[in-house]
């Protein structure tokens, strides 16, 4: 999966004269990884994060969603009141819903028409969506979530719950953390506790009862960082612990067989089926990555440099970039599934995908920055006007 609230809504935590771009840059990196990962036959996805640890780009998005939600909506509630905050949240949820519905309709329409000219691999379209239109109301009510189109609905649910989450947070941080952890634990003990999915007997692929914990950890991370000028406190022992965990995950998860290397695993890696409920090894993986990024002054500086800003450009426009990338991924799957996976064809698809992605993001970002500057100018002019 918008995904997390865009940084146009969620301003990074203040530091006297510099802005922290790490969240946008990390989100941008996740967007690029998803662009590669969602085309199974793409060789590029052999070098994305999912090959070197337990977590993947989805975990990055959801944790950043919680982080950005606090910055965008928690502070808005404090500044302007609950009614203003809830209106803003409902508006964002409506926008996410429209993008999700549009992507799903484009998805089904494209595959149905492609079938008239070339065979379509079975994994690209669930059989229930292949004929008729009886499924439409299920799509509109999130009773049916097709493959590769399951992260925006998760985010809509979590964002819609943010007022409740924030109300509990105002009462007690420990009550929020403990309650969320308990719900996550129950979902892992009994994965049948989920939201039904007409297309999958196992329910929503990203189980909200499990994934809400990661979202809330992102919220609490933003609260913690806000007390330290936007950084998570750098502790040597914590960095060593997180780094050691990620090294262990790398040793266990590296695709030795693909690279024809002798295995270095001392014992088998945990099963991959822990993604639906957000298994504990995946949770620790993404928490370690997030802590190391948000406690690093070096990465703060990197995110403000040229390469970091290339990634942040995507992250600042994440909903549009993600939605466009999802459509590009569908086309990539169809092309490679129909015409083969030759190296030349993969190079063309990846290069075009990057060019088109940035061709969308650059004008979007310029427009966003102009609108932001215009609002700032209007605010300044209003502040300087004195009644006659």
Task: Return the percentage of the chain with pLDDT > 90, whole number.
Answer: 74
Q: Where does the pLDDT of residue 18 fall: very low under 50, low under 70, confident under 90, or very high at 90 and above?
A: low
pLDDT at 271 over 90: no
- Is 372 inside a domain boundary? no
- Is 140 inside a domain boundary? yes
Compare 383 and 161 and report the one with higher pLDDT: 161
- Rounded to 10°, the helix 343-384/22-37 angle is 150
Q: Which of 9-13, 63-67, 160-164 has the lowest mean pLDDT?
A: 9-13
Q: What would the mean pLDDT of 338-351 be, rounded to a whole number?
A: 93
Compare 240 and 18 and report the one with higher pLDDT: 240
- Is 374 inside a domain boundary? no
- Is 353 inside a domain boundary? yes
What pLDDT, on the 0 to 100 scale, is given for residue 38?
A: 92
What pLDDT, on the 0 to 100 scale, is given for residue 385?
A: 64
Q: How many domains does the chain have?
A: 1
Q: Which of 26-30, 290-294, 336-340 has the lowest mean pLDDT?
A: 336-340
Q: What would the mean pLDDT of 17-36 be, rounded to a whole number?
A: 88
- Is 9 inside a domain boundary? no
**Which tens digits make up the pLDDT trace of 175-197?**
999 999 999 999 999 999 999 99
What pLDDT, on the 0 to 100 scale, is given for residue 386?
A: 55
HEC secondary structure over the chain? CCCCCCCCCCCCCCECCECCCHHHHHHHHHHHHHHHHCCCCCHHHHHCHHHCCCCCHHHHHHHHHHHHHHHHHHHHHHHHCHHHHHHHHHHHHHHHHHHHHHHHHHHHHHHHHHCCCCCCCHHHCCHHHCCCCCCHHHHHCCCCCCCCCCHHHHHHHHHHCHHHHHHHHHHCHHHHHHHHHHHHHHHHHCCCCCCCECCECCCCCCCHHHHHHHHHHHHHHHHHHHCCCCCCCCCHHHHHHHHHHHHHHHHHHCCCCCCCCCCCCCCCCCCHHHCCCCCHHHHHHHHHHHHHHHCCHHHHHHHHCHHHHHHHHHHCCHHHHHHHHHHHHHHHHHHHHHHCCCHHHHHHHHHHHHHHHHHHHHHHHHHHHHHHHHHHHHHHHHHHCCCC
Q: Which domain holds residue 37?
A: 22-367
* Identity of the highest mean pLDDT range in 3-17, 87-101, 104-118, 243-257: 87-101
What pLDDT, on the 0 to 100 scale, is given for residue 374?
A: 79
Q: What would the mean pLDDT of 277-287 be, rounded to a whole number?
A: 95
What pLDDT, on the 0 to 100 scale, is given for residue 4?
A: 46
- Is 253 inside a domain boundary? yes
- Is 381 inside a domain boundary? no
**Which tens digits make up the pLDDT trace of 296-332?**
999 999 999 999 999 999 999 999 999 999 999 999 9
What pLDDT, on the 0 to 100 scale, is given for residue 380?
A: 74
- Is 4 inside a domain boundary? no
Compare 223 and 382 and report the one with higher pLDDT: 223
pLDDT at 11 over 90: no
**Which tens digits make up the pLDDT trace of 209-235?**
999 999 999 999 999 999 988 899 999
pLDDT at 340 over 80: yes
What pLDDT, on the 0 to 100 scale, is given for residue 2?
A: 40
């Amino acid at each position: 999966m918008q995904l997390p609230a865009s940084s146009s809504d969620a301003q990074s935590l203040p530091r006297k004269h510099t802005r922290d771009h790490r969240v946008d840059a990390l989100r941008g990196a996740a967007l690029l990884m998803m662009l590669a990962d969602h085309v199974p036959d793409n060789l590029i996805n052999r070098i994305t994060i999912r090959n070197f640890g337990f977590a993947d780009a989805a975990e990055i998005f959801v944790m950043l969603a919680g982080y950005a939600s606090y910055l965008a909506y928690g502070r808005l509630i404090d500044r302007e009141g609950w009614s203003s905050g809830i209106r803003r949240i409902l508006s964002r949820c409506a926008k996410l819903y429209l993008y999700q519905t549009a992507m799903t309709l484009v998805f089904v329409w494209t595959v149905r028409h492609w079938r008239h000219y070339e065979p379509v691999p079975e994994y690209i379209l669930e059989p229930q969506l292949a004929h008729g239109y009886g499924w439409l109301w299920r799509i509109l009510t999130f009773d049916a979530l097709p493959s590769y189109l399951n992260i925006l609905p998760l985010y809509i649910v979590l964002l819609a719950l943010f007022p409740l989450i924030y109300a509990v947070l105002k009462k007690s941080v420990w009550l929020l953390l403990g309650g969320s952890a308990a719900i996550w634990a129950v979902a892992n003990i009994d994965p049948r506790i989920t939201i039904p999915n007409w297309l999958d007997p196992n329910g929503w692929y990203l189980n909200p009862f499990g994934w809400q914990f990661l979202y809330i950890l992102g919220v609490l991370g933003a609260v913690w960082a806000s007390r330290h000028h936007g950084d998570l406190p750098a502790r040597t022992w914590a960095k060593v612990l997180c780094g050691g965990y990620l090294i262990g995950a790398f040793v266990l998860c590296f695709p030795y067989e693909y690279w024809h290397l002798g295995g270095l695993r001392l014992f088998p890696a945990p099963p991959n089926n822990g993604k639906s409920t957000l298994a504990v090894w995946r949770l620790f993986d993404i928490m370690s990555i997030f802590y190391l990024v948000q406690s690093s002054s070096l990465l703060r500086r990197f995110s403000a440099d040229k390469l970091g800003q290339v990634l942040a450009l995507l992250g600042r426009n994440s909903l549009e970039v993600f939605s466009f990338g999802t459509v590009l991924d569908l086309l990539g799957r169809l092309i490679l599934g129909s015409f083969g996976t030759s190296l030349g064809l993969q190079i063309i698809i990846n290069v075009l995908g990057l060019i088109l992605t940035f061709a969308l993001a650059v004008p979007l970002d310029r427009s966003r920055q102009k609108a932001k500057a215009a609002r700032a100018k209007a605010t300044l002019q209003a502040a300087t006007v004195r009644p006659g």
